């Protein structure tokens, strides 16, 4: 099979290059950023997807992810803003079309049955509600709807935001957060301390973007949890046991 490209990881690196350029005005970083943007512009499928061409657990190649699509849209948005080339904006919008479609039809919108609301699924072939991927996708949706002024984009953002507010209580043990709602194994999928901290930062950003008191409350709760030294070690141990048992 050989080496394969992980679109989401590559998009993260490209966004890091862009941030580095903004902070330092290092033209080399901007040149590298456009190499990534141009490469993925040429690799987008006619359906607007950036596919994973390798299997990943239950996801069989070629498959696509709401998280990777959203990160890619953020890269294309920045490429358009830096170059004033509207073609990048078109690619950004195209990459989000499948957010309007259910996972059963090849899209990324999936029903969260306990609250009868829809969220955006990181692994649409095997939905388990990975919450950090959903939150990261929402941050991209916010910036796309803010900058591109398309009438359908604010609806994606608002639907996702309201779903996140309803879903978050299901991702708490009371003392720690959950990575997803994998019901098929007996041991809950506790977040590692690193991913718990990642969620803290995502919630901080989303609460600022939305002025949501619910997200602010969930952010503050997770911060208090993270400060408990023993709880961090407990989470680390439970995560390790789960990985040994199931992966």
What CATH number does the domain containing 130 carry? 1.50.10.20
Contact call for residues 67 and 11 (beta carbons, < 8 A): no
Backbone angles phi, psi at 59, to 5 degrees: -90, 125
- Asked which of 150, 169, 188 is the last residue of a domain, the reply is 169
Judged by DSSP in three states, 16 sits in helix
- State whether residue 106 is helix, strand or coil: coil
Dist CA 228 CA 52 (whole Å): 38
The answer to whether 215 and 206 have CB atoms below 8 angstroms apart is yes
Number of domains in the chain: 2
pLDDT (tens digit, 0 to 9) for every residue of the chain, 247 residues total?
678 899 999 999 999 999 999 999 999 999 999 999 999 999 999 999 999 999 888 899 899 999 999 999 999 999 999 999 999 999 999 999 999 999 999 999 999 999 999 999 999 999 999 999 999 999 999 999 999 989 999 999 999 999 999 999 999 999 999 999 976 677 889 999 999 999 999 999 999 999 999 999 999 999 999 999 999 999 999 999 988 887 6
Burial of 168 (0-12, 13-18, 19+ CB in 10 A): buried
Residue range of the domain that includes 201: 172-247
Contact 98, 64 (CB under 8 A): yes
pTM here? Answer: 0.94
Query: 177 forms bridges with which residues in the sheet?
Result: 172
User: Quick one: 155 and 198 in the same domain?
Assistant: no
């Amino acid at each position: 099979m050989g080496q394969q490209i992980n679109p989401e990881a590559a998009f993260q690196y490209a966004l890091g290059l862009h941030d580095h350029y903004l902070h330092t005005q290092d033209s080399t970083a901007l040149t590298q950023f456009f190499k990534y943007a141009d490469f993925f512009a040429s690799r987008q499928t006619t359906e607007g997807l950036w596919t994973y061409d390798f299997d990943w657990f239950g996801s069989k190649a070629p498959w696509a992810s709401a998280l990777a699509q959203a990160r890619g849209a953020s890269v294309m948005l920045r490429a358009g803003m830096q170059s004033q080339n509207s073609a990048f904006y078109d690619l950004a919008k195209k990459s989000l079309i499948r957010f309007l479609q259910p996972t059963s039809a090849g899209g990324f919108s999936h029903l969260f049955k306990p609250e009868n609301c829809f969220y955006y699924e990181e692994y649409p072939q095997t939905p388990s509600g990975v919450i950090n991927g959903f939150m990261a996708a929402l941050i991209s949706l916010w910036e796309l709807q803010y900058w591109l002024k398309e009438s359908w984009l604010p609806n994606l953002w608002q639907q996702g935001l309201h779903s996140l507010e309803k879903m978050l209580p299901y991702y708490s043990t009371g003392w720690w957060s959950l990575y997803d709602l994998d019901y098929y194994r007996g041991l809950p999928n506790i977040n590692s301390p690193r991913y718990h901290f990642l969620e803290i930062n995502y919630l901080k950003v989303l609460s600022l973007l939305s002025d949501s008191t619910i997200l602010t409350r969930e952010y503050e709760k997770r911060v208090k949890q993270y400060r408990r030294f023993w709880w961090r070690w407990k989470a680390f141990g439970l995560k390790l046991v789960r990985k040994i048992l199931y992966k």
